[in-house]
Amino acid sequence: MAVETTLILCKPDAIERRLVGEIVGRLERRGYAVRAMQMMTLDKARAKRHYGEHEGKPFFDELVSFITSGPLVALAVEGEGVIEGCRQMIGATDPLKAAPGSVRADFAQTVGRNLVHASDSAESARRELPIFFDTFG
């Protein structure tokens, strides 16, 4: 398995609920390396670019409004198989369907407030990382 880099976002609900340390700590304890990390508040344009694949879906406006509602913490995280590994660790999109022990199952209740984003493929990671970090452009 190759060394990869993925984009992780601790979304505004994670900041609000003081769960950034918990989330980043879990990634570090698995052995993944934080290569970049920044707190920022997204404007609508950047949020729409990040979530472009969902444009036109019924939840899109709510999603953009939520992700721009307050600061988030963006991370570039590196490791062997990190893209799939982080998807495992955050759990399914709907916390009710997320595996026990995953972040979403342990700490979240609803899809709209599921705490964390992780790129879902190598192609998504390549597209998403430069939206947040110039160094990955």
By CB under 6 A, what part of segment 57-86 binds ligand IDP? 59, 63
In DSSP notation, 54-92 reads: GTTSTTHHHHHHHHTSS-EEEEEEEEETHHHHHHHHH--
Element (H or E) spanning 124, and its range?
A: helix 122-132
71, 39 contact by CB (below 8 A): yes
- Give the position of tokens 């918990």: 22
The pattern of x and - marking residues 106 through 125 that bind ligand IDP according to CB under 6 A reads -----xx-x--x--x-----
Cα–Cα distance for residue pair 66/38, rounded to 1 Å:
18
Cα–Cα distance for residue pair 77/72, rounded to 1 Å:
16
By CB under 5 A, what part of segment 73-132 binds Mg ion? 120
Neighbours of 93 (CB within 10 A): 11
Residue number with CB closer to ligand IDP (52 or 135): 52
CB of 133: closest distance to ligand IDP in angstroms?
A: 19
Residue number with CB closer to ligand IDP (62 or 135): 62
CB of 117: closest distance to Mg ion in angstroms?
A: 7
CB of 53: closest distance to Mg ion in angstroms?
A: 7
Residue number with CB closer to Mg ion (93 or 135): 93
- Is 117 an active-site residue? yes
Residues contributing to the site for ligand IDP (CB under 6 A): 54, 59, 63, 93, 111-112, 114, 117, 120
Residues with a catalytic annotation lie at 117
